[in-house]
């Protein structure tokens, strides 16, 4: 048995990529993004923004913060993330 976090990204045309990491949903997201980039694609979401970070409480949940935004966002939120302030 292999324990890990898996993240599947599917397109409407049927293509799909699966990223994995043993501990972190964010690392699984970066794995998927690398696969998509290898096929000359681009994935845009909050978790791939270099300003995205996880706090001690949000670590390994897929939720985090972007600099200058007071509210948490999910790593898969559309990019650019728009503050609800």
Does the CA dihedral 22-47-59-63 come out positive or negative?
A: negative
The pTM of this model reads 0.82
Among 82, 67, 73, CA closest to 47: 73
Cβ proximity of 42 and 56 under 8 Å: no
Digit-by-digit pLDDT tens for the chain (85 residues) are 678 899 999 999 999 999 999 999 999 999 999 999 999 999 999 999 999 998 877 788 889 988 877 788 899 998 665 554 4
Which pLDDT score, from 0 to 100, does residue 85 have? 41
- Cα separation, 56 vs 77, whole angstroms: 20
- Provide the β-strand partners of residue 18: 8
Which pLDDT score, from 0 to 100, does residue 80 have? 60
């Amino acid at each position: 048995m292999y324990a890990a976090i898996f993240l599947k990204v599917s397109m409407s045309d049927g293509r799909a990529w699966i990223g994995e990491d043993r501990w972190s949903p964010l690392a699984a997201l970066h794995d998927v993004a690398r696969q998509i980039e290898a096929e000359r694609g681009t994935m845009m979401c909050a978790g791939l923004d270099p300003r995205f970070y996880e706090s001690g409480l949000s670590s390994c949940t897929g939720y985090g913060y972007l600099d200058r935004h007071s509210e948490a966002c999910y790593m898969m939120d559309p990019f650019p993330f728009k503050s609800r302030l």
